[in-house]
Structure 1
Amino acid sequence: MEDFHNISIENDTDGLEPYLSTTFFVTSCIVSSIGLPLTLLAIYALYSLVQENNVAPVYVINLLISDLIQMCCFVIWVAQPKNLIMFVVSGIIHSIGLMASVGFMVCVAMERYLVITCPLWYRFRRNIKITLVVCFTVWVLPLILGFLSYFILKFLQPHILLSIYLLVPFPLLIFFLAGTLKALSSSISVPLEEKRRIVGTLVLVLLNYTLLFLPTIIWYMSAAITENSAFDHTLQIIFVQFSPLMDLVLYIFMKKGAVDKLLACLCRCRMTTEQEQG
């Protein structure tokens, strides 16, 4: 990811080892082969759910588009092009997709939070135009950060800069989940299924971020603090690779009735297992 920014075309492939390893090759093939077709289907299905008074799918669609960008970069890396420029360009594009992905996670969590905590205000404020402006801002932020990084590299290491960007959403996601749970405990107007969908969305986003992004952030910060770039960060990169597959589960929480059907299916499977054991 960010290591690509530090690679010189004249140098050898130092720093590319994690992207050329067998483990990275296998996980890239798995994620791309499963994620690409399913993500395209999910985007198509979510597009039909977009309405003037239902803008949540717009954020999820943009999140899935950022995942598509990352998976396309996986395909390029698996092909292992001989031109090092291709690695560098795809690394920069992947970084933009990764940072946009984190931004849209915050948007999804914020939208669900506002639905519960500020229902009247949000009902009159939400519309497609505002949503599209927010999405545009999320896409532009990584570009601005990349532009500014060229001017502040003398004062701030790239690892620290990227770590700060990726770490900012963490307290926000915790705040949105805690605030939503507190508001739902005293809410009687929200249907039970809607509560499940909202809580499920927020828990999934926070879980995805904590399990897949936080280890990478910790590695970046430790590498910057110790000034040691010799750490093997293949495992952290692989964690982030599985993020697009986790994001696909958000589709379940966007469709009405999907959560209840999923819970009913799990209950039937559990009852069948108990009957077979009995």
Structure 2
Amino acid sequence: MCNETFSCPFPDKYEAFLFPTIYGIVLIVGLLGNLMAVGVIFRLIRKRNILGIYLANLCASDLMYICTLPVWIAYTAKEDWLFGTLTCKIVGFFFNANLYTTISFLSCIATDRFVAMVFPLHARIIRSMKGALIICVIVWLIILGSHSYFLSRDDLFTSSQDVELCYEKYPLEKWMAHLNYFRIFVVFLIPLILLVFSYCSIIRVIHLTPGLVKEQKRRITGLLLSMTAIFVLCYLPYHVVLFIRSYVSDMDYCNCDIEKRVRPAYRITFALTSISSALDPFINIFVSDGVKKDLLVELKSLWLCVRFHRRSKKGKLDGVNVVCDVAAQRNNGFLCTHQTKVQTRF
């Protein structure tokens, strides 16, 4: 008899190597990239750069997601949950919720750039630090609130292979299928439409701007297309497969044949969504020429500090602070938010 304790078998063996490898690479690259981005974002906010608010929340979302990866690496390597029910609830909650906060903040960044670029005269009225903060709070409340149901459930299952699964019951339960509809059509599809529309509109305006040389137009267009392509490739395949799984489970809960066929695509596309968290700092923050120069200054300053500290016989840091202050004075600023400097904003 088919009921909520029913579980489909999953014979795939390649997963124990593939998924820990993907998550391991994302963990290393994403952690280093997002930690480096913290200093850049702090200076952006200190200069009252509105975009810095969205970048700060994107970085926070990515770091929260990345912090769950060590547990997920161990889980996918063993294909067996070894950390207990409470850890399953907490890790499953943040792992799933922060996927959608990242998507939402990427859309906010695209929309903010669209307003600043396409409506430069109205942007000073529409865009504000307070408005950006309110939008970010609303995003967190919607995503975390909609995923809070994870914390109220005991979703640690024992599969037909006698291993424990954390939020990965095959087939999907009804409540998860219904939550997935909200994820797909609200917190993914709407941000996708906003992001694609915003960047396409910006590209159109850039090509109509006489003040930019051909090389600048080509560089900015390539960057915006890369941002759009990475977003689509990381998230769209997963949500297409997620919709198929949810629809099948909702209509025919006991259909293991379709579940077996869809599961490999689901697991692979789900793992690939994590790549965005590793790439976000490089495609949204480190692309500006001003940011690159500032990063070099910061790294050089850090290197001078380390060298001075090693050479200091007493280990006092007074001289180190002097070296760091001198290096910091060479800082020329980060992302340009002035409407006339389009070529450096991206």
Structure-2-length-normalised TM-score: 0.62
Equivalent residues in 2 for 1:71-220 (5 A)? 71-80=66-75, 81-146=82-147, 157-164=178-185, 165-188=187-210, 199=221, 202-220=224-242
Q: Using the TM superposition, give the Cα deviation of residue 68 of structure 1 relative to its aligned residue in structure 2, in angstroms.
A: 0.7
Between stretches 249-258 and 127-136, larger displacement belongs to 249-258
Equivalent residues in 2 for 1:63-74 (5 A)? 63-74=58-69
Q: Which runs of 5+ in 1 are unaligned?
A: 1-7, 260-278
- Find 2:275's aligned residue among 229, 242, 255: 242
Corresponding position of 2:324:
none
Q: Using the TM superposition, give the Cα deviation of residue 77 of structure 1 relative to its aligned residue in structure 2, in angstroms.
A: 2.0
Partner SS state of residue 290, structure 2: coil
Amino acid at match of 1:135: C
Corresponding position of 1:4:
none
Q: Percent identity?
A: 21
Q: Using the TM superposition, give the Cα deviation of residue 194 of structure 1 relative to its aligned residue in structure 2, in angstroms.
A: 7.6
Q: Using the TM superposition, give the Cα deviation of residue 93 of structure 1 relative to its aligned residue in structure 2, in angstroms.
A: 1.0
Q: Using the TM superposition, give the Cα deviation of residue 236 of structure 1 relative to its aligned residue in structure 2, in angstroms.
A: 1.0
Q: Deviations over 1:94-135 (max 9, x none)?
A: 122111001101111011111111001102332221111111
Between stretches 116-125 and 182-191, larger displacement belongs to 182-191
Q: Deviations over 1:216-255 (max 9, x none)?
A: 1011111123335442222112211211122121212345
Q: Aligned in 2, Cα 1:170/1:131: closer, same or farther, shift over 3 Å?
A: same
Amino acid at match of 1:27: I
Q: Using the TM superposition, give the Cα deviation of residue 191 of structure 1 relative to its aligned residue in structure 2, in angstroms.
A: 8.0
Contact 1:56 1:111 in 2 (8 A): yes
Q: Aligned in 2, Cα 1:69/1:155: closer, same or farther, shift over 3 Å?
A: closer
Contact 2:234 2:276 in 1 (8 A): yes
Amino acid at match of 1:119: P
Q: Aligned in 2, Cα 1:256/1:181: closer, same or farther, shift over 3 Å?
A: same
Q: Aligned in 2, Cα 1:147/1:46: closer, same or farther, shift over 3 Å?
A: closer
- Find 2:21's aligned residue among 18, 23, 26: 26
Give the Cα separation in 1 of the matches to 2:85 and 2:178: 23
How many residue pairs align between the two structures? 248
Between stretches 79-88 and 21-30, larger displacement belongs to 79-88
Give the Cα separation in 2 of the matches to 1:89 and 1:11: 24
Corresponding position of 2:38:
43
Q: Aligned in 2, Cα 1:51/1:25: closer, same or farther, shift over 3 Å?
A: same
Give the Cα separation in 2 of the matches to 1:207 and 1:103: 16
Give the Cα separation in 1 of the matches to 2:55 and 2:215: 19
Structure-1-length-normalised TM-score: 0.75
Q: Which runs of 5+ in 2 are unaligned?
A: 76-81, 153-173, 250-257, 294-346
Contact 1:70 1:98 in 2 (8 A): yes
Kindly report the root-mean-square deviation, in angstroms, between the aligned alpha carbons of the 2 structures.
Answer: 3.5
Please say which structure displays the higher CA radius of gyration: 2
Q: Aligned in 2, Cα 1:120/1:257: closer, same or farther, shift over 3 Å?
A: same
Contact 2:114 2:202 in 1 (8 A): yes
Q: Using the TM superposition, give the Cα deviation of residue 78 of structure 1 relative to its aligned residue in structure 2, in angstroms.
A: 2.5
